Amino acid sequence: MQINPHIFRGYDLRGLAGEDLNPLIAEHLGKAFGTFLLRRDIHDVVVGHDCRSTSSEYSVALIKGLLSTGVDVVDIGMSLVGTLYWSQYYFKHKGGVFVTASHNPAQYNGFKFAHDFSSTLVYEELQELRKLAEIEDYIIAGQPGKLKESGINDLYIKDLAGRFGKYKNFKVLIDSGNNNSALIAPELFRQVGCEVFEKNTNIDSSFPLGTPDPTDKIVMQRLADEVMSAGAGIGFTYDADGDRLGVVGNQGEFVWNDVLVALFAADVLHDNPGAKIVFNTLCSKIVVDTIKNNGGIPVMCRTGHSFIKAKAKEVQAKFAGELSGHFFFLDKFYPHDDGPYATLRVLDYLSKTNQTLSQAIASLPFYISSPEIKVFCADDKKVELMSRISPILKKDFPEAEVIDDERAADGVRLELFDGMFVVRYSQNGPYLTVKFEAKTQEKYQELKQYIDKLLHQFGDIDWQSKMNVNIESLD
């Protein structure tokens, strides 16, 4: 089966629906993944999907392929990827697949594959899956597997709510961005006693408001305006599979997710002194400073939810998080990223410390930070382009500490005494990612102008692409 090799990414599979993906390819991926699992003595799989227009039909085709290998499948239908991981424990099934393209635009789709509890496939395993599909090396069972349909969203909500107290003093606004987080978040927050305001909780596969990406300033500004208009105390939004979140305070102030990493680290270290905290290369220096100030051990890791999840398990960290909004609470929860659970941890921390979000953030070290900036560069060009950019950065900043080892892996981070910046290529989309910050406005402007001038030298970057995110932060 011929499949575009570029859609097998660092930690999931994503491509253009109807071009890179179709039901036949989905069926072959099901056959390949069923074979992959059986050769590891795994015989049961949970499957779920997001609300994209092609997700249901891809899920049906994928399940057909899985069943043909003899594995048994539980179909949980439209849900969140955190619900899928949770259901692995509920059903005691190591295998899992979630049909989604996460925060990519509506015309994309893809798959997240799990081969153990809370554990997703990474690059080498995805390449093994690709090879199985390409040569059609499948196990075909004499007796197909059994299919069971089981909607478990209500059970998932009940379990999460039962892990927390009641937060009757919180007025929470939920903007679901027309995605399937609407199935979970509003009811979850009502169950823990919050007054809930709903915005854009009607599910629409076309994403009429644009891509639901909590790292996008457009999405965050909409959320901020809604919070202030409703008189809410805090606002949350989610990406299309619900493992990442965006948060704003009652005055409409954005809280970028690396700042939340720092806040969560302080919370976890309060009960786990001396613990290791894992964070990705894109995170602000606020994170390192906060971990050290609270007696923890900082562990920097390459970007990607599968990589950071694996690193957290490896070093036995109590918490891990990254700028994009993937958070892993290994102190009190399963070791996977779950947006609704993370939002409850925000409310729990604010309740315990009797603070507003603004007050909690004000207690952290201060840096002027850019959002996560994404500039389009084709998949077949981005790696080579990064190899040209990296030597320039090292030459132009000889005083910087250069981080380009396995912690960066797909880019370079420069540590300056009064700031830092990162340029890397994305593992899950055709773009470069940029993040920079400084202690002073003067240094911030200097870095911004440098990065803008540097990137405009390269014709491989498409400044007009609809996939670009937050590029106005370089103006």
- Residues involved in catalysis: 102
Among 145, 111, 122, CA closest to 29: 111
CA distance 102 to 21: 15
CA distance 153 to 84: 10
Residue 5 is classified by DSSP as G
Among 7, 43, 12, CA closest to 120: 12
User: What contacts 24+ positions apart, CB below 8 Å, involve 286-289?
Assistant: 286/258, 286/259, 286/262, 286/364, 286/365, 286/366, 286/367, 286/369, 287/258, 287/261, 287/262, 289/262, 289/364, 289/365
CA distance 188 to 470: 31
Taking a C-beta distance cutoff of 8 angstroms, is the pair 293, 252 a contact? no
CB 415: neighbour CB atoms within 10 A?
A: 15
First to last CA, the chain: 45
Taking a C-beta distance cutoff of 8 angstroms, is the pair 109, 21 a contact? yes
Question: In terms of DSSP H, where are the helices of 138-237?
Answer: 153-162, 185-191, 217-230
Beta bridge partners of 215: none
- For residue 37, CA distances in Å to 70, 214, 281, 365, 412 come to 11, 33, 32, 46, 35
